[in-house]
Amino acid sequence: MTENANTTLDPITLEILFNALRSVTDETYIALMRSAYSTNIKERRDHSTAICDARGALIVQAENSLPIHLASMIGLMDSLLAKYALDEIEDGDLFVANDPHVAGGTHLPDVNMAMPVFSNGEIVAFICNIAHHADIGGMAPGSMAGGMSEIYQEGLRIPVIKLFRKGALQQDLLDLILLNVRLPEERRGDYYAQIAACRLGARRMMEITDAYGNAVITTAYGEIVTRTERRMRAAIETIPDGEYSFEDVMDDDGLGAIDIPIKLHIEKSGDQIHFDFTGTSPQVLGNINLTD
């Protein structure tokens, strides 16, 4: 196919591209699972993979990816593109982050990685993955013990930073990370597994762009997102219009707060749905809070 400014896709080509992109995320998901060292990833499968476009929008994810991880990847890309201009991102760079407050993370043990894919001098995708590491340092093994009252007790905070620059590992950065965690060789193996999954995804993505060209791929991104929204709205429409409410409590935060309320009120009309968490507990002292 040739590239042009007004690229359009027929339904068959779009379906082929959608499944090609899905296959990239599924393959990287399996590669990460099979090559990781820790039980968390190999057996619990507490990891996810996805492809984002050059603007950081999530386009496709592996079939078994976890929804909360996908939200974290979006947060990672927002933070990455806020910190680095596109012309500061180079072929061979690879970013790592875990911090919930400045890097879109969920909690510190969930380590995000993202690698840009270049074609004809421009970024056509970011290959992303996230994996729950068995330890990220802090006051207790596992980095998630009860009794923690501040994030500094939970472990090492990693902002969005380049672990690789132009294909070269920043060994001093990796050494710093591994010095602050328990079982550093197991952690090293998990980091290498995530790196390998990014590289595999980048190779597969290049094969797709070489076959179809940048313009076709970019057009496919837009169509995938548009059609996904259309399907979601159609699914919402099948729910009866009305208002729905639910509430529950968390037992405690480990530091004295008990029966912590979680309240949700839903208003549904047509193809739109609104979630209102008014009445849910504000931040508590323990380590069970969410970031904004």
Question: Mind listing the pLDDT tens digit for each residue in 173-199?
Answer: 999 999 999 999 999 999 999 999 999
In angstroms, how far apart are the furthest CA atoms of the chain?
64
Query: What is the per-residue pLDDT across 221-268, written as a single tens digit (0 to 9) for each?
Result: 999 999 999 999 999 999 999 999 999 999 999 898 999 999 999 999
User: Sign of the C-alpha dihedral, residues 292, 113, 38, 65?
Assistant: positive
| Prediction pTM value | 0.92
DSSP secondary structure letter of residue 30: H
Is 257 in contact with 285 (CB distance < 8 Å)?
yes
Q: Give the range among 50-54, 99-103, 174-178 with minimum mean pLDDT.
A: 99-103
On whether the CB atoms of residues 156 and 136 are closer than 8 A, the answer is: yes
Which residue, 52, 110, 111, is CA-closest to 81? 52
CA distance 97 to 39: 21
Q: Are the beta carbons of 131 and 41 closer than 8 angstroms?
A: yes
Strand, coil or helix: 78: helix
Report d(CA 225, CA 213) in Å as an integer: 19
Render pLDDT for 114-131 as a digit per residue (tens, 0 to 9).
999 999 999 999 999 999
Q: How many helices (H) and strands (E) does the chain have?
A: 6, 10
Cβ partners under 8 Å of residue 175, min gap 6: none
